[in-house]
Amino acid sequence: MDVYELLDRALKQFSHKEVALALGVDPKTVRRWQVRETEPKPYVAEAIRQRLLPMGEPSSDPGRFTFIDLFAGIGGIRIAFERQGGRCVFTSEWDPYACKTYSANFHDGPDHVFASDITQVHEDDVPDHDVLLAGFPCQPFSIAGVSKKNALGRPHGFADKTQGTLFFDVARIIAKKRPRAFLLENVKNLVSHDKGRTFSTIIDVLRDELGYQVFYKVINGKHFVPQHRERIIIVGFREPTDFSWDDLELPDFDTAPKIGSILHREDGTEPAAWPSISGPRGKVLDKYILSDKLWGYLQDYAAKHREKGNGFGFGLVTPKDTARTLSARYYKDGSEILVSRGRGKNPRRLTPRECARLMGFDDDFRIPVSDTRAYKQFGNSVVVPMIAEVARIMVPHLEARMAAPARRSRRAA
């Protein structure tokens, strides 16, 4: 494609402002290019390829197994299972900005289905698949007794227990499509939510209502990245298996990466085109340094809570430290992870690229959205190498069942 064809393709996915942001130009310049009023410089074609569009053509490889990606976010769980030879056949994500980042990083063919709101998708319209993946949001469950439902002549079971929550959409698809396995990811607090009743309902539905062999474990992303990030991972298999969490290979915390490993090197070895850095050495832009007013406010806020015996306050890190959990609200003040710049200097926020590294994304992962959107997306994502390790021990059990003579499960639809 020539530069104009690439530009037209990019503008089908992104706004003029977003394309301009990715290319480091003014939106008016993009509009002039679009109407052929001016000609883009030679570097623009390659910049569009590298920053906005997936590289290459959709793969024709059928994959060793197929999977669907629900509540997909920016595709962190997908990356982990693609590394194990899987092929994504269906994606659902409702946030339009997350969809833009997802589309910029995954080049799917015409057979792949991308749905926005999974609550509006009928389970019959979901393609058959071997593995269901879902980083579903936690919502409160309203659990009513079965005896009361019977007395009222109303149905019970998973549909009744979880209707009105997004977990219901996971359950109804599992019930209809009967995948060989699933992986669900959520915050650690899911285990204790509502005095444990929410988690108990989820396990009851998966194990007793849907008939899957279920395993769960809280894993800290700190084993793989310099961030304390505990998440509950729920794995299920349709047929009996000897899957065990003992097969996980979790690096020791003492030898795990520290913050210095994800910070911009500022020695000229990183891509000069990255929007967060500038100059011959790739120095982090001053806009990421906290203003005197904000830094003063955060210090006063922390001091006030220390006097009350509370632990609230900012999280200041050096290259030798491990960070707190990156949250989706990081864009507000960056207070949970502030990078020290030495005595007498205001600290700075992480850049979006550093946030990507903190979550275990490779440097070739494209970030086509604004800093605010990027912070939200990485704060809501998964630690990719942690999910990849779970995928590594899951897939052999999946493939063993795929190779075995076919037999129907006890709750086959």
Task: Indicate which residues carry an active-site annotation.
Answer: 138
Distance between CA atoms of residues 381 and 387, nearest Å: 11
Distance between CA atoms of residues 208 and 337, nearest Å: 42
Angle between helices 3-13 and 27-34 (to 10 degrees): 120
Write phi, then psi, for 131 (nearest 5 degrees): -135, 135
Both tokens of 233, joined, read 């991972």
Residues sharing a CB contact under 8 Å with residue 36, sequence separation 6 or more, in sequence order: 4
Distance between CA atoms of residues 67 and 130, nearest Å: 6
Distance between CA atoms of residues 350 and 103, nearest Å: 24
Both tokens of 90, joined, read 């269906």
Which amino acid, residue 331? Y
Question: Which secondary-structure segment (H or E) carries 275?
Answer: none
User: What is each CA distance from 106 to 109, 192, 226, 322, 361, in whole angstroms?
Assistant: 10, 35, 26, 30, 14
**Burial of residue 126, with CB atoms counted within 10 A of its CB: 0-12 exposed, 13-18 middle, 19 or more buried:** buried
Both tokens of 51, joined, read 């920053």
Closest CA relative to residue 114, chosen from 49, 162, 70? 70
Strands (E), 314-406: 316-317, 338-339
Q: Is 68 helix (H, G, I), strand (E, B) or coil?
A: strand
Q: Is 178 helix (H, G, I), strand (E, B) or coil?
A: coil
Question: Which secondary-structure segment (H or E) carries 220?
Answer: strand 213-220
Please measure the distance between the N-terminal and C-terminal CA atoms of the chain and give it in whole angstroms: 47
